[in-house]
Amino acid sequence: MNSNNSAVEIETAVKLSVDAWLLSNRRMNTLVRNLTDKELYSHVAPGKNRGVYLLGHLASINDAMLVLLGFSDRLYPHLEPLFVSNPDNIYEQYPSIEELKESWCTVNYTLLGYIEKMQPGQWLEKHTAVSDRDFESDPLRNKLSILISRTNHQNYHLGQLTFLL
Amino acid sequence: MNSNNSAVEIETAVKLSVDAWLLSNRRMNTLVRNLTDKELYSHVAPGKNRGVYLLGHLASINDAMLVLLGFSDRLYPHLEPLFVSNPDNIYEQYPSIEELKESWCTVNYTLLGYIEKMQPGQWLEKHTAVSDRDFESDPLRNKLSILISRTNHQNYHLGQLTFLL
């Protein structure tokens, strides 16, 4: 294996994961655009989360990616207690769907801007929630692992949200 | 970037995608083991697929991976028309849940055996459904792309199947 080949290979492998993220994100965008407010306020299945909760949940998880990937601070830290660290329906007030859709779009648009500037090798650098020492003993705790796990998480909930259509 | 570094990087990038597949597959295994026959015969949500259909669907999609990754022929080609190319409930007879669970386990166990023997660089080789010429113009149509897309597909339905618990 020569250096040129390996550089092409790492570029290819990283591009596949980035493309998988973008595809999943685009599918979520299309779904969110097509769902009415009434549909989003419905439960995805009897006794399960409301669509609006999953939308806020994914917006907040993606918002946290900005931090984990070392891009910026969170844009919407107030979403975390509402949609990640607590279950649905325990607060008196939730953001409107219009506001959540706007947060969702802005987070993903912001992420995309940073992702497009990443060089393949940068994805293999440590993410911000792991220490230098821990990263040295486990180089799999890198930025690419964040992207892959968040893609899988997004697809998991995407499968549920389609039930609202 | 020297050759050694790049070889480590490609190994790392591939391992992340393989690990994501294994994690998703393990989660499905745990779920399938925990679901009763009665639960699997239920619809994952009103008007949506039955659990048993999604189990057969994922077993058949994973079975086809054996071919796409160049490992072997399908083990259970009869599952394809029942669970992939046709919707649920159009045939008079379906395999029993016991039989489907056995097919599911055998397919994944077989896949795992081959996956464990793959060298990182082999994941960047073309999958079997693309021609040499097409692969030359689009090297992203490789075995790793199959693994990543099937992981995402599996997680999509995993999110739906958990509703049966």
pLDDT digit string, tens, across residues B12-25? 999 999 999 999 99
| Mutation target among A155, A157, A158, A161 for the B interface, most CBs of B within 10 A | A155
Q: Is the pLDDT of residue A2 over 60?
A: no
Tell me the average pLDDT across B107-119. 97
pLDDT confidence of residue A5: 80
pLDDT confidence of residue B1: 46
pLDDT confidence of residue B88: 94
What is the three-state SS of A99-164? HHHHHHHHHHHHHHHHHHHCCHHHHHCECCCCCHHHHHHCCCCEHHHHHHHHHHHHHHHHHHHHHH
Mean pLDDT of chain B: 96
Per CB-CB distance under 8 Å, the chain A contacts of B121 are 1, 9
Tell me the average pLDDT across B29-39. 97
pLDDT confidence of residue A8: 86
Rounded-to-integer distance, Cα B50 and Cα B39, Å: 9
Residue from B148, B75, B161 nearest B110 by CA: B75
pLDDT classification of A45: cutoffs 50, 70, 90: very high
Chain B: which residues have CB within 8 Å of chain A?
1-3, 6-10, 12-17, 19-20, 23-24, 44-46, 48, 121, 123-124, 139-140, 142, 144-145, 148-149, 151-153, 155-160, 163
Of B14, B139, B149, the CB nearest to A20: B149
Q: Tokens 């998480």: give the residue.
A: A153
Instruction: Spell out a b/e string for B127-152, using b for 16 or more CB atoms within 10 Å of the CB, else e.
Output: beebeeeeeeeebebbbbbbbbebbb
pLDDT digit string, tens, across residues B38-66? 999 999 999 999 999 999 999 999 999 99
pLDDT digit string, tens, across residues A117-134? 999 999 999 999 999 999
Rounded-to-integer distance, Cα B73 and Cα A118, Å: 39
pLDDT classification of A1: cutoffs 50, 70, 90: very low
Rounded-to-integer distance, Cα A137 and Cα B65, Å: 33
Chain A: which residues have CB within 8 Å of chain B?
1-3, 6-10, 12-17, 19-20, 23-24, 44-46, 48, 121, 123-124, 139-140, 142, 144-145, 148-149, 151-153, 155-160, 163
Rounded-to-integer distance, Cα A89 and Cα A91, Å: 6
Rounded-to-integer distance, Cα B52 and Cα B42, Å: 8
Backbone angles phi, psi at B142, to 5 degrees: -110, 180
Percentage of chain A surpassing pLDDT 90? 94
Rounded-to-integer distance, Cα B135 and Cα B137, Å: 5
pTM: 0.95
Q: Is the pLDDT of residue A4 over 80?
A: no
Of B10, B20, B123, the CB nearest to A148: B20
Tell me the average pLDDT across A145-162. 98
User: Can you tell me the ipTM of this complex?
Assistant: 0.94
Residue B4, both tokens = 């050694």
Q: Is the pLDDT of residue A7 over 90?
A: no
| Mutation target among A8, A12, A42, A135 for the B interface, most CBs of B within 10 A | A12
A20: number of CA atoms within 13 Å, CB side? 34
pLDDT classification of B6: cutoffs 50, 70, 90: confident
Q: What share of chain A is helix, strand, coil (3-state, %, to 5)?
A: 70, 0, 30
CB atoms under 10 Å from CB of A109, counted, come to 10
